[in-house]
Amino acid sequence: MEVRKYTWKEFPEFTEEIEGVRVIPTSGDERSVHYMHDVEYAEVNGVKLHLQILIPASRNDGFVPFGEKQNFSRPCFVFVQGSGWMKQYVYANLVNLSRLAQRGYVCAIVEYRHSGIAYFPAQACDALNAVRYLRKTHAAWGIDPDRIILAGDSSGGHTAVWGGLLHNDDTEQNLFPGISAEVCGIVNYYGSVSVMEPDSNPQTVNHCLPDSPEGRVMGGKNLLENDMELAKVLSAECHIDENTKIAPMLIFHGTKDRTVNCTGSVILYNRLKETGHDVTMYLIQGADHGGPEFWTEEVLDIVEGFMKKCFE
């Protein structure tokens, strides 16, 4: 065998039979997940924002690490990690999302400006700019720019829902002029989508007060004042009517969520239904605020089925 740079097809395969050694056959479609760590997607007012990108790849795909262009084009699941709108631990669902990536979806976890440095709707604006960045650079990650889903959990669920409501492509909030942030669907995992009810956050003793998570993201304001006008600004259902443009939505919420009462998701679900929008909701029996119940094979099947429907 001469020493030279071979392509995979050119390289001669070892075919010698060795006693006691079994050969495991492969098809080339076996899939692994490549993790691209802390990819900077924007800098806003001196704050650098990053994505954690998980890329499914197989031998037949020919994944190129750090390449400018991949040989495949897969759907993308953009996930906003929840944090009560405070500083995120963006790696919390990295392993869980890798299971979705293993099914053939590029997954990107969004870092947003937290409430200590930026107020609502900055978080949703950041998520939309992350979508634009991924759409602009889609070839490098093997993303189909026409098949993108926006998702999130807890405050990230709220952010994903608001990402579907804002439609700010033609404003200065768009850091990538000419690139759309519109998505095919929204997946909301136990999102803190409404703060209108007294028990919206059962364990938050300072609910809607200036030092509460929801108060901080609204600029350290008391949301209970002035007929709860600021609470209405933050609550998604108060901005939805028959003329609202929003992508199909899938909602999951645990029936024993002590942090964000599942009634908030029910309020959003009912509002979307009564105004004629495409929405599906699942209650996860006994589940608290997140946990393994949201990452079962059954739930992943539901998410994948929803995405395929959105891409039709």
Q: What is the pLDDT of residues 61-75, one digit of tens each?
A: 988 888 889 999 999
CB 213 within 8 A of CB 119: no
Please choose, from the candidates 120, 212, 197, the residue with its C-alpha nearest in 3D space to the C-alpha of residue 163: 120
The per-residue pLDDT for range 137-185, each reduced to its tens digit, is 999 999 999 999 999 999 999 999 999 999 999 999 999 999 999 999 9
Q: What is the reported pLDDT for 67?
A: 82
Q: Where are the domains of the chain?
A: 34-310
Q: Average pLDDT for residues 10-25, to the nearest whole number?
A: 95
Is 34-310 CATH 3.40.50.1820? yes
Instruction: In whole angstroms, give the CA distance from residue 36 to residue 39.
Output: 7
CB 209 within 8 A of CB 224: yes
The CA distances from residue 13 to 8, 10, 16, 57, 155, in Å, are 10, 9, 9, 22, 52
Written as six digits, the tokens of 127 are 């998520």
DSSP string, the chain: ---S---TTTSPPP----TT-PPPP--S--EEEEEEEEEEEEEETTEEEEEEEEEEEETTTT--TT-S--S--EEEEEEE--STTSS--TTTTHHHHHHHHTTT-EEEEEP---TTT--TTHHHHHHHHHHHHHHHTHHHHTEEEEEEEEEEETHHHHHHHHHHHH--TTSTT-SSTT-----SEEEEES------STTSSTT-TTTTSTTSHHHHHTTS--TTSGGGHHHHHH-GGGG--TT-----EEEEEETT-SSS-THHHHHHHHHHHHTT--EEEEEETT-BSBSGGGGSHHHHHHHHHHHHHHT-
Mean pLDDT of all residues belonging to the chain? 96
**Residue 61: count of CB within 10 angstroms of its CB:** 19
Task: For residue 217, count CB atoms less than 10 angstroms from its CB and return exposed for 0-12, middle for 13-18, buried for 19 or more.
Answer: buried
Q: What is the reported pLDDT for 186?
A: 98
pLDDT over threshold 90, residue 206: yes
Q: What is the reported pLDDT for 2?
A: 77
Written as six digits, the tokens of 153 are 């959990």
Cis status, amide bond into 121, omega within 30 of 0: yes
Q: What is the reported pLDDT for 3?
A: 84
pTM: 0.96
The fraction of the chain above a pLDDT of 70, given in percent, is 100
Q: Average pLDDT for residues 124-135, to the nearest whole number?
A: 98
The per-residue pLDDT for range 77-99, each reduced to its tens digit, is 999 999 999 999 999 999 999 99
pLDDT over threshold 90, residue 223: yes
